[in-house]
Amino acid sequence: MKPYLSASVLGRAVRQKIIAVRTYDIRQWAHDKHRRVDDVPYGGGPGMVMKIEPIHEAVESIKLKVRKAAARNTKKPRVRVVLFSTRGKLFTSEEAKRLLRYDHLIFICGRYEGVDERVARYVADEEISVGSFVLSGGEIPALVVVDTVARMVKGVLGKHESLEEVKGSYAVYTRPPVYRSSGRSRKQWTVPSVLLSGNHADIKRWRARYDRKNL
């Protein structure tokens, strides 16, 4: 996760202290000398299940850090604990806007066969799914949500107009105006002439045709 969080848009936003993203090794809160965070499921079955003790203690420890950091402020920080699960609510842009209202988001990334159900019932505030497919862990969903929410934070993208939710979604082109491929195929693909015209009113109308919100 760290290479992605330290690069490009997110990395710049972290370095400029517009956002803060921290990762934690759940084994810090393991109880035995082997630092195990999983065990066999009750009732039998394949795979291993992540234990509730280290997850609960990790979340409580992080919440305590948040409260201590905000102790000098009169406003109580808004914290939301999210567990990634295939049974969770589908993550969308609207969900990202909702999560943006919180001061701190704590993401629980599952592994193995799954997470002790008591985490979903008593530790997490909600469950989120990034799609109808199964991944080997919750780290990729966490990056998806971090990226989606962070780009909505003022200053992360530089210009508010850069948000696709603001400018719309339409076909874009850049130089060269005519691309000629090499090889036997000799393809020739051109940029629509309206984009080369310099007529901003015509360009705006052309882009509106491709705005997915208007389709």
Do 86 and 62 fall into the same domain?
yes
Q: Are 59 and 120 in contact (CB under 8 A)?
A: no
Query: Could you tell me the pTM of the whole model?
Result: 0.86
**Residue range 154-165, pLDDT digits in tens:** 999 876 666 666
Continuous H helices in 38-131: 52-69, 93-99, 117-118
Per-residue pLDDT band at 214 (split at 50, 70, 90): very low
Q: What are phi and psi of 85, to 5 degrees?
A: -155, 145
CATH of the domain at 133: 3.40.1280.10
For residues 82 and 124, the answer to whether their CB atoms sit within 8 Å is yes
pLDDT surpasses 90 at 185: no
Domain boundary among 160, 184, 200: 160
Full DSSP string of 176-198: -SEEE--SSS--EEE--HHHHS-
Q: Which of 177, 65, 173, 83 is nearest to 126 (CA)?
A: 83
Whether 135 and 115 map to the same domain: the answer is: yes
Please indicate, yes or no, whether residues 96 and 173 belong to a single structural domain of this protein.
no
Residue-level pLDDT at 162: 61
Least confident span in 69-73, 139-143, 185-189, 194-198 = 69-73
Query: Does position 53 have pLDDT exceeding 60, yes or no?
Result: yes
Same domain, 107 and 182: no
Domains: count for the chain: 2
Domain boundary, last residue among 115, 142, 160? 160
Residue 135 and residue 206 in one domain:
no
Least confident of 14-28, 61-75, 201-215: 201-215
Which residues constitute the domain of residue 59?
2-160
Residues 109 and 174 occupy one common structural domain: no
Q: What is the pLDDT of residue 212?
A: 45
pLDDT value of residue 72: 77
Over residues 7-37, the pLDDT tens digits come to 999 999 999 999 999 999 999 999 899 999 9
Cis, peptide link before residue 176, omega less than 30° from 0? yes
Same domain, 41 and 115: yes
Q: Do 46 and 129 belong to one domain? A: yes
CATH number at residue 179: 1.10.1270
pLDDT tens track for 97-148 = 999 999 999 999 998 889 999 999 999 999 999 999 999 999 999 999 999 9
